[in-house]
């Protein structure tokens, strides 16, 4: 524990202080608040807040120095995963060490974590789909052998209830959750308001009923009716589009 009063992020907090791996000093409370602020900004990694210091703190270091409770850890990890998914669909957090890992192949659910492998002295892999330590043979593109391994996004698309969408032939049932046709993010419609929506992730505007762009929905076919879908409603999606940025 360091008592260096010149360090960053510790003003106003009367508590023990600890030196981070980058050399700067924090208090548990200030570190927690700083990391929470980063999470609110949509970040999934923790970077020192000292001016001119861009050092990244490993998650395990943050947990130790911030004295995070089990509940705080759970909240941090949930938000980190959500932020990472929005920022980069090819990155997820290893369930063993919470280190961000990039998927090598979209046709293989097995992902090797180099950090855990180095720690344990053996190859450590996890399932990209259920985020648990890998079980069974690999490579696999469908599922691992953990109980109830499934693609939660596809399950949501398959099992979500319907909402009513206006069409030129009346009102038809439409899945209440769609995968954005551009980036694949799941978006829910309450059935209230306009059928034309804008994806909060990629900003693409499309029709929730036919999954076409708004201009295509309005002009395709024999009708051009604002607020009414002029194309047949697309059935439930069976795959998640990949964002080709």
pLDDT at 106 over 70: yes
The pLDDT, as a whole number, for residue 126 is 95
Share of the chain above pLDDT 90, in %: 33
Query: Region 105-130: what's the mean pLDDT?
Result: 90
pLDDT in tens, 128-140: 988 899 999 999 9
Lowest mean pLDDT among 46-55, 93-102, 108-117: 93-102
pLDDT recorded at residue 190? 81
Please state, rounded to an integer, the average pLDDT across all residues of the chain.
82
18-81 is a CATH 3.40.50.300 domain:
no
Query: How do residues 175-196 score in pLDDT, each as one tens digit?
Result: 999 999 998 888 888 877 788 8
Q: Pseudo-torsion of CA 150, 153, 155, 156, nearest 10°?
A: 150
Q: Which long-range contacts (C-beta less than 8 Å, at least 24 apart) are formed by 125-132?
A: 126/94, 126/95, 126/96, 128/92, 128/103, 131/92, 131/93, 131/95, 132/95
Confidence at residue 101, expressed as pLDDT on a 0 to 100 scale: 87
pLDDT for residue 109: 92
- At 241, list the tokens: 């589009």
The boundaries of every CATH 3.30.40.10 domain in the chain are 18-81
Q: CA 13 to CA 92: how far, in whole Å?
A: 34
Identify which of 124, 129, 158 has the alpha carbon closest to the alpha carbon of residue 142.
Answer: 129
- Per-residue pLDDT reduced to its tens digit, 197-212: 899 888 899 989 889 9
5-51 tens-digit pLDDT: 333 344 444 557 888 999 999 999 999 999 999 998 888 889 998 88
> For 99-110, what is the mean pLDDT?
84
DSSP 120: H
pLDDT at 42: 83
pLDDT > 70 in the chain, percent: 85
pLDDT the model gives residue 181: 92
pLDDT at res. 10: 44
Is 220 a residue whose pLDDT tops 80? no
pLDDT reported for residue 135: 94
Count of residues for the chain? 245
């Amino acid at each position: 524990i360091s008592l260096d009063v010149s360090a960053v992020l510790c003003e106003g907090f009367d508590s023990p202080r600890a030196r981070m791996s980058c050399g700067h000093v924090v208090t548990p409370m200030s570190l927690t608040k700083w990391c929470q602020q980063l999470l609110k900004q949509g970040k999934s990694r923790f970077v020192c807040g000292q001016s001119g210091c861009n050092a990244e703190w490993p998650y395990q270091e943050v947990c130790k120095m911030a004295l995070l409770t089990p509940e705080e850890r759970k909240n941090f990890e949930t938000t980190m995963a959500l932020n990472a998914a929005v920022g980069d669909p090819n990155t997820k957090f290893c369930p063993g060490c919470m280190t961000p890992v990039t998927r090598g192949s979209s046709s293989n659910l097995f992902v090797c974590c180099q950090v855990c492998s180095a720690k344990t002295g053996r190859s450590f892999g996890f399932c990209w789909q259920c985020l648990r330590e890998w079980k069974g043979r690999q490579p696999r593109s469908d599922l691992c052998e953990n109980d109830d391994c499934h693609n939660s996004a596809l399950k949501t698309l398959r099992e979500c209830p319907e909402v009513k969408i206006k069409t030129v032939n009346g009102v038809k049932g439409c899945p209440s959750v769609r995968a954005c046709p551009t980036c694949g993010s799941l978006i829910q419609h309450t059935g209230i308001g306009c059928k034309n929506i804008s994806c909060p992730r990629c900003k693409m505007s499309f029709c929730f009923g036919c999954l076409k762009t708004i201009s295509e929905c309005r002009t395709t076919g024999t009708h051009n009716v604002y607020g009414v879908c002029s194309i047949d409603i697309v059935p439930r999606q069976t795959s998640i589009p990949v964002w080709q940025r």
